[in-house]
Structure 1
Amino acid sequence: MPFSQNIRGTLILHACQANASCLRMSLCQDCFSPGVTHKGTPQGKWEKIGGVDCYVGTPTADISKDAVVLYFADLFGPQAVNAQLMVDDFASSGFKTIAMDYFGGDPAPPDGLDEGTKFDLWGWLGRHSPNVTRPYIDKVVSALATQGVTTLYGTGYCFGGRYVFDLAFDNVLKVAVVAHPSLLEIPKDLETYIAKSQAPLLINSCEIDPVFHLEAQAKADEVLGSGNFKPGYKRNYFPGCSHGFAVRGDMSNPEVKAGKEGAFKATIEWFSKK
């Protein structure tokens, strides 16, 4: 299976599922870079939902019991402080938010690409193909349904963007948001989205992204924009930001800070209006 040998450049990977069908997945160095750990103390709690470990942020004010935001983390999983702080921020904005551990306690380590690391990147990817990760998601979705949850919003970052698309294809999500998504096939997934999904889609994109690059961004606008996707489509573009900015960006950089905060604000507004 061909892929770039330079893991510090663009990574193109063909990962085969157990049934021998292959899903073309693209990743870049920033997918595996932990970025900057943001300041704060996580306020949420770990809970078992459908037998799956989940980090849960619950608003302090009265909320609707039938609506939940599903937070699909990047490769560092909901164990990452940045992910937990993001979940807390959604909760502070009035949305009960759940980040499931769809890596089964095996997220990519923060030092996965450090010099001298013993982390087996390709082995890790092989252990977390869609036929392994998706069942965790389905268990949580089923369990929430039994608890009376009828409305699911989805927000996915990098690796998690793939699952926002997949759940939107299945019309599990009422509203969908992705930021610097990876693992997408362009234009196939865009065309599938417009053919199958009814979930309004917001994409938070950036200037420097070897995965969801400028050509892919333009194709998304071509396929879904100009009123083509009736339920609703919008793409934000944040200059000076690179892949991972919405979760792991360096907040000491004014452009990145503006991008991260802008992407979060746009996501809250998208959920609130739909």
Structure 2
Amino acid sequence: MGSLSPAPSLHPSYHNHTLSRTFTMSLCEQCISGVRHEGTPEGKFEQIGGVECYVATPSGDYDKSKAVLFFTDAFGLALNNNKLLTDAFARNGYRTIIPDYMRGDPVPLDAFNKPGQFDMHAWIAKHGEDVWKPDVDNVVAALKAEGVTRIGTTGYCYGGPAALHLGYSNTSSATVMTHPSLLQPEDLERYRDESKIPLLINGCEVDHQFPPDFQAKADEIFKDFAPGYEKTYWEGCTHGFAVRGDISDPKVKAGKEGVFEATVKFFQKHL
């Protein structure tokens, strides 16, 4: 995969139009497909608040009052890509943590090789907010107890609702969602009405979970959002690209690195 440090030459483009669609509350095949990236994770596993976590820590001096919570896609800690991205955030100065909010039961990696065969509906039925919310809250409580005062969240796919959760309660300081799943417009309206935390959403061209019409709806919902709202849009990219994208495709590579750059800059601005 190589370094994911921000590439200043990348510039996101924007998209805004409306289509007719019924928003889904299930995961799609794009949520469990893609490319596995090579590399050796540099972090370590720790128990935080009684929850197994992968933790990547900056090699030099860093602000220990800040932390980033990385809410993964449905592959969780099992997918190397997620750990490599976490390491990349640490290289940019943030202690970054993946909580195992799936309690050791992510989508198995062999789903990559069985398109259309894994039962996503059954998996989602076992991994609702009643499962992940207590673990997320326990990790946050433990971080606060050790002196962390500002938390950034970055949620990918399945991790989008967890990022919003900490924004609803104004527990976090900066919220990022990238090709989020399992959301309805009402979730974004609630964030607008209840949260004082700035929000960045990274979207793409082909996404059954967060399609262009939903992205346009998000723009409408947050057009006057006082804490701050930003959005990036990536042509030629498909749901999951920022984690599981095929970086041999120049557009996907630009999108993947561009999303990372936008997220780091957002944290630099608000965290």
Query: Secondary structure at 1:99's aligned position in 2?
Result: strand
SS at match of 2:147: coil
The letter of the residue matching 1:162 is P
Aligned to 1:163: 162
1:30 aligns with 2:30: yes
Aligned to 1:261: 257
Q: Give the SS at the match of 1:104.
A: coil
RCO (CA 8 Å, sep 6+): is it higher in 1 or 2? 2
Pairing of 1:117-132 with structure 2 (within 5 A): 119-132=118-131
User: How far is 1:127 from its partner?
Assistant: 1.3
Whole-Å separation in 1 of the counterparts to 2:116 and 2:199? 38
TM-score, normalisation: structure 1 = 0.87
What does residue 176 of structure 1 align with?
A: 175
- The whole-number CA distance in structure 1 between the counterparts of 2:181 and 2:231 is 16
**Alignment partner, residue 207 of structure 1:** 205
- Superimposed CA distance per residue, residues 151-170 of structure 1 (whole angstroms, 9 cap, x where no aligned partner): 11000000001111111111
Q: Deviations over 1:200-258 (max 9, x none)?
A: 10011000001100110001111102xx0011001100000000011000010000000
The residue type paired with residue 198 of structure 1 is: K
- In structure 2, the CA distance between the partners of 1:253 and 1:268, relative to structure 1 (3 Å rule), is same
Mapped to 1, the partners of 2:252 and 2:112 lie a distance apart of 22
C-alpha distance in structure 2 between counterparts of 1:206 and 1:82, whole Å: 19
Match of 1:58 in 2: 57
Give the equivalent residue in structure 1 for 2:16.
none
CA contact (8 A) 1:112 1:121 kept: no
How much identity, in percent, do the aligned residues show?
50
Structure 1 residue matching 2:75: 3-state secondary structure: coil
Q: Contact 2:78/2:109 (CA < 8 Å) preserved in 1?
A: no
Whether the 8 Å CA contact 1:69–1:153 is kept in 2: the answer is: yes
Q: Does 1:106 align with 2:105?
A: yes
Mapped to 2, the partners of 1:123 and 1:74 lie a distance apart of 16
Gaps of 5+ in 2: 1-21
One-letter code aligned to 2:28: C
Contact 2:29–2:115 (Cα < 8 Å) also in 1: no
Change (3 A) 1:229 1:124: same
Q: TM-score, normalised by structure 2?
A: 0.88
Q: Where does structure 1 lack aligned partners over 5 or more consecutive residues?
A: 1-11, 14-23
Distance (Å, rounded) in 2 between the aligned partners of 1:185 and 1:136: 23
C-alpha separation in 2, matches of 1:229 and 1:259: 25
Q: Report the 3-state secondary structure (helix = DSSP H, G, I; strand = E; otherwise coil) of the residue aligned with 1:215.
A: helix
Q: Which has the higher strand share?
A: 1
* Contact 1:111 1:117 (8 Å CA) reproduced: no
Pair 128,271 (structure 1): closer, same or farther in 2 beyond 3 Å: same
Measure the CA separation in 1 of the matches of 2:144 and 2:218: 32
Give the length in aligned residue pairs.
249
Change (3 A) 1:117 1:177: closer
**CA distance in structure 2 between the aligned counterparts of 1:183 and 1:119, rounded to whole angstroms:** 18
Q: CA deviation at 1:65?
A: 1.2
